[in-house]
A and B are shown apart, each in its own frame.
Chain A
Amino acid sequence: MKIAILSGKGGTGKTLVSVNLAAVSEKATYIDCDVEEANGHLFFKPQWVQEESIAVKIPEVDEGLCDGCRKCVDFCKFNALAYILNKLKIFEEICHSCGGCLLVCPQKALTEKDKVIGIIKKGISNNVTIYSGLLNTGEPSGVPIINRLLSKNHLLENKLTIIDCPPGSACVVMESIKDADYCILVAEPTLFGVHNLNMVYQLVKLFEKPFGVVLNKCTEDDNPAEKFCYENNIKILGKIPFDSKLGTLNSNGEIIVNIDEKYKEIFSSLLDTVIKEVRYETVANP
């Protein structure tokens, strides 16, 4: 069972929900797909057991073969190639590794070389196996790292896989939820929160994923995110209170379900609800 946790903006509580769901389960794999700012490991403090470099392919030119026809320059939609004073110039940071320039080169002057863009690490912390992706600063896209993080072997290691997504609704998030059985949308009780919730709501609908919402930072006041859920018939999976104790423990890198009984209850029941939802979905929409 693969559960993805996402939200339209950063700081809503994706990692809080992801880490605590994994921690409260019997056994789980936690995958940190927020490769630009992976932070789940700060809570698990795992013992790292494996590390792997992730590389993408970028073009390299054989100047002896290149006759300056510029087919590659014209082809590249990202403008990663320029032809200056009879020399092909390749902008590695602009290249999106599509390989198209190789295909259009009539002289076969282009070949591909590996360029390392980041790493993935595997770690163990009690009942949780952790996979973290780390994209090097300045790289345009974390998609290749996420793709490797979510490779079949990692997903099948344990029955329960928690996928902690990057914020927003862009390519990196689409890549992260692609194979998920269920999506949890975490929302804040503000108008801004509703706007961001709507973004990921549209995304999961587009991907036809079963989903529900966790309302975080709930106070006694009106909750616009809750109202949005009622208006759109969205299942509310659970609520987390706006609580300075929780905030403090979380800021100190503690996993609250290991410390506080009340939160252990909240996250256990959230996990049960989600598991029931997924089972229902597999029966209703196999």
Chain B
Amino acid sequence: MVDLSTDLGAGRRLPNPLMTASGCAANGKELHRFFDVADLGAFVTKSVMADPRSGRGTPRMAETPSGMLNSIGLQGPGIDAFVDEDLPWLKSVGARVLPSIAGSSSTEYAHVAATLRASRAFDAVVGVEVNISCPNVANRGLVFACDPLASAKVIALVREQLPRDIPVYAKLSPDVTDITAIAAACVEAGADGLTMINTLLGMVIDTDRMRPQLGGVTGGLSGPGIRPVAVRAVWQVRQAMFEGRMPTVPIIGVGGVRTGHDALELVAAGASAIQVGTAVFNDPSAPVRVLRELCELLEAKGFERFADAVAVAHGR
């Protein structure tokens, strides 16, 4: 049996590296009908902001080759309802939770983090993912994660609000010139780890109506079609760590993972944990299936520990 445990930084270890991806799993109840969410290394919740948010109008979705475009607009209940209802429920079923937080200003991120810390079910939280890269916001491509200074400011403010034993992950966008510069700025500002990648900004035209297909015009591209972009981003940042251009921190790989083989690609490129996102829409039990497949692959390849496979493709 392969030792699947993985290190999340800040002294946190998870029993296995598989997670849901933010925005692809709601807040747990829906998928718990198909598998036990406590079997995951961690459950990553939908990005939550300070106040309730309706999200955008419809259509919110367009299918693309091996993927989809979405324009949800961060619909959510707001942090108060999240800590009163969603987080206690996840705790009640024994899930380890990695809440994803978002904000339209750096102070909003800090407020959301502080509310989370003060909440009664906070002991179910194993880390916090800071979504600085959602493309479905008013300023579109100009997300925090496109600017090293803006990213660093958000991460530093969130880091201040949370205890040292709660690792803070910065979720990065691949839609930048040099992702290693953003990654380095986040780590220097106090991020304990990096999640890569968020969706790519895309667009589809409805040729029947000759207008943009999405109500929100542009949207985030996800699914197996973007997996090579995720592998590239994880590889580049891990390479920068090896070369001493930035401190070495754990990376959570996400982007187009559908099978154990896909997960292993991201692991070999440098990811210490894996999130399964859009594949859930195709197969609601995909996260636990991918975990099983990854375990079988590692065993077949003779790995005794998952950790030994992390970044193994570098230098080969």
Q: Do A and B bind each other?
A: no
B positions within 8 Å CB-CB of A: none
A residues lining the B interface (CB < 8 Å): none
